[in-house]
Amino acid sequence: MIIIMSNNATDKEIKAVEQRLTDYGFKTHPIYGEMKTVIGAIGDKRRLTMDQLKLMSGVENVVPIMRPYKLAGRELKKDPTVIDVNGVKIGGSHLAVFAGPCAIESHEQFSFIAQKVKESGANILRGGAFKPRSSPYSFAGLEGEGLKIMRKAGDETGMPICTEVLDTRDVELVASYADIMQIGARKMQKFKLLREVGKCNKPILLKRGLSSTMEEWLMAAEYIMSEGNENVILCERGIRTFEPSTRNTFDLSAIPVSKELSHLPIIADPSHAAGTYKYVDALAKGAVAAGADGLMIEVHNCPEKAMSDGEQSLTPEHFEALMKELRPIAEAVGKTL
């Protein structure tokens, strides 16, 4: 629910309402405006009714929130969230570009790609140290060593790094190296993991699940935000449908729909959506034109020898050409790249 305080409500009255809510098990999120203070409250409304709150001094009105994702939705926060990661902004008028290989294979490989994507205009490094694979016999990443390689390349290029965390037991380790922690599509509803990363002060990149609805996706974001971490970045990476022509079906509509439902920034991952390098350019351009706040693109110096997802990776030269083509599209929709 939303508690709207009157224009002349005192600090004492505002604190009293917050304390009452806290005593009944609600989590409070006050928003201080120039004219009014609004308190967002999340909890079991059966324990404390709206009528009871209306009787308190300084309370003007109490409004129920209809959508279940109260923190991720726009009822409490109208303005779009902009997340600053070491000077790189995600959201608003900025277009963030995450680029790098699917898997970190060696220091030489990752450092080379990191330098190349930076020269082309990428501003965040992506790479997998822990790789969730469908087969237990596939390359599953360099794990701790991969994190060290990635951190070194990030420091050398001055770029923030983004990598996936798979398990609650690895959150502390990954957080000690990464600037952004990614929750992959397969882990989107691993609720204990969502709560654990919600306790960190690192931005979280939340990929949409393979067959998840918009509401399920935003409720996963709610899990993270309910633990105190409000720096969540949504990532549309395609959903599973009956169509076999691409690895996944890229849901372009998820971008404007998420903008209507949520204040959180949203980026697109055309590499995983397409599953082949041939379609990455078109999907990336479409996502930017639709208003995406960023892109995540897989780049490998030798895709035919990549240990993971080489078929959907662009070469550094291909990535450079795409970045040049994206700039006028970004400018046309009011984004800077």
Give per-residue pLDDT as tens, 6-55: 999 999 999 999 999 999 988 888 888 878 899 988 877 777 888 889 99
Region 57-77: mean pLDDT is 87
Cα–Cα dist 253/213, whole Å: 12
Q: What is the mean pLDDT of the chain?
A: 93
Which of 69-78, 91-100, 305-314 shows the lowest mean pLDDT across its residues? Answer: 69-78
List pLDDT tens digits, range 313-333: 999 999 999 999 999 999 999
Residue 285 confidence class, pLDDT cut points 50, 70, 90:
very high
Q: Which two tokens stand for residue 292?
A: 């995406």
Sorted by sequence, the CB contacts under 8 Å of residue 281 that are 6+ apart come out as 322, 325
List pLDDT tens digits, range 111-156: 999 999 999 999 999 999 987 767 776 766 788 999 999 999 999 9
pTM for this one? 0.85
Residue 22 CB-half CA count within 13 A: 9
- Tell me if 82 sits within 8 A of 90, measured CB to CB: yes
State the CATH class of domain 83-332: alpha beta
- According to DSSP, residue 232 is labeled E
2-63: in CATH 3.40.50.10480: no
- According to DSSP, residue 5 is labeled E
Domain layout of the chain by residue ranges: 2-63, 83-332
